[in-house]
Structure 1
Amino acid sequence: MASTGHHPKSSKKTLPLQSLLMPQVPRNNYLHLQEEKQRLQLKKFLLHRMFLVANTQANLEKKEIAEYYEQVFQSILKRHLGEAVTGLLLVYPTSILHILESSSGTLYQILLDYLDHERKETEYLVHNMKIIVISHNIPTRLFMQWHVSVIRVPVMYLDDVTQSQSLNEIITDFLTQTHKLALHLFKTVKAGAKGPGDNLHQVAPDLLLPEQIIKYLLKCEQFMDPVTFMNMYNKPIHITMDAEVVWPAPSRF
């Protein structure tokens, strides 16, 4: 006797070809990875660290330069989106060492402010500024706030290391000492504190750079001044692809 029952329908469904071709594992690119890192660290922008040196006016007061830069930072954050500025400003008798941590746009505006004073030829607190190095996309800040400290150490003209060392050796010592000083302040200065004070030459004398090093770097032509740097920063990049090259070159009749 023939069976009149219906065959049970198969529970397996044929998947469309498009779904088979799509990757089953979600894939992220490097940009998404960096954005996720910034989100987890509560940062809206990538952080950068910039080392500046400059000559100063005679008898520059700490209060005067501190108030000026604080006004610049506040003005920039009001007009442009970016990260807050942290870092350290060391005021020597005739020069400064300035370490700044912030987003690229904020650092860009700080340099523009300096250039604006130079173009107007107005009396400015600092002059002959040089950019020693810029560290891009730093993983974390070395400074929790922005501090100013006056270095009251007399200039030593004897045993000048700049006469016995190469530029590479001096730059290596410069970066090593500044990072050691930053780590020392990171461990010793609590968040919300006023800062390291003006007795760094007593608390951490081995971590302070002598002013003769700052003066030597200011004279080196290998380092860019803000004008040269900004010209390169704003210069568009034109890349000629092989497909754009036509031979023979077109000519007009």
Structure 2
Amino acid sequence: MSFMVHTRKGSKKHYHVDPLLMPKVPRINYMHLQEEKHRLQLKKFLLHRMFLVGHIQENVEKKEISEYYEQLFQSILKHHLGEAVTGILLIYSSTFLHIMETSNGTFFRILLDYVAHEKEENEFMIYNMKIIVASHNIPTRLFMQWHISVIKVPVLYLEDVTQSQSLAEVTTDFLTMTHKLSLHLFKTIKVGMKGPGDNLHQIAPDLLLPEQTIQYLCKADEFLDPVTFLSMYNKPIHVTLDSEIVWPAPSRF
């Protein structure tokens, strides 16, 4: 609200605006606050974080998986606007854990590429993928780059504890440990630094998930596979009811 004060020429009387009526703080709306936050964080799109698990085909080398994802990320950014992918891919003996941070459209195309390979190839290098959780509109990244690491788990960590736990308990442990691991890497790995490499089991052995946990989650029907997830993603929000297409329109009293 603005105040305009007019004075007549030659008049010695002055009009003063009550200082209590003047706005003390610039009035901006919530959208402007969000836009400023994203500008400060150098984000063009909203960020999302996704936790994926799955199996790896036998005799697949780490280099093949690394090259596949790096080429896929570059191809997506080249042809579609979006945020760069950051995160980490942990490769176990027969399973993997993948944490990715990027924009929604990039996630959509990454999953589409996986589904296409799964349909076209008899034995794609990764299979039986499950989406454990997707966090939307995260405030900041936990990873400044994308890393890949082979986990050489010692015998000490091969004890299977999932047999005596419920799905909720296993999922809670999974999210707790992956979050702690992500925070640890966030504090220790800076921009431009080399990732943990294949020594993660030595750097943070207490923060690594047992492979049995990943195998357990891959078998759980409660988690969506990429095909089901994409089907729900493409499903229209506005559903036309039968009562909306009959004539004459039903009247309600």
Quickly name the TM-score band, shorter chain normalised. 0.7 to 0.9
Pair 1:69-2:69 in alignment: yes
1:57 CA displacement: 0.8
* Cα 1:155/1:96, change in 2 over 3 Å: farther
TM-align CA RMSD: 2.9
Residues 101-140 of structure 1 correspond to what in structure 2 (within 5 A)? 101-140=101-140
Name the residue aligned to 2:19: none
Name the residue aligned to 2:250: 247
Q: Which moved more, 1:114-123 or 1:232-241?
A: 232-241
Q: Which moved more, 1:155-164 or 1:200-209?
A: 155-164
Q: Which runs of 5+ in 1 are unaligned?
A: 1-6, 14-22
Q: Alignment partner of 1:51: what SS?
A: strand
Name the residue aligned to 1:16: none
* Cα 1:160/1:27, change in 2 over 3 Å: same
Name the residue aligned to 1:87: 87
Q: Is the 8 A contact 2:158 2:210 kept in 1?
A: no
Q: Alignment partner of 1:81: what SS?
A: coil
1:123 CA displacement: 3.4
Q: Is the 8 A contact 2:144 2:191 kept in 1?
A: yes
Name the residue aligned to 1:49: 49
Pair 1:194-2:190 in alignment: no
Distance 1:238 1:57 in 2: 40
Distance 1:120 1:96 in 2: 22
Q: Alignment partner of 1:39: what SS?
A: helix
Of structures 1 and 2, the larger Rg is shown by 1
Give the TM-score, by structure 2 length: 0.83
Deviations 1:24-72 (A, max 9, x none): 9875443332222111211101100000001101122111111110000
Distance 1:248 1:45 in 2: 44
The amino acid that maps onto 2:144 is M
Q: Is the 8 A contact 1:155 1:210 kept in 2?
A: no
Distance 1:90 1:236 in 2: 35
Distance 2:25 2:156 in 1: 64
The amino acid that maps onto 1:37 is K
Identity level (%): 70
The amino acid that maps onto 2:77 is L
Distance 2:181 2:88 in 1: 10
Deviations 1:102-156 (A, max 9, x none): 0111111100100111221353110011000000011110001000000012677
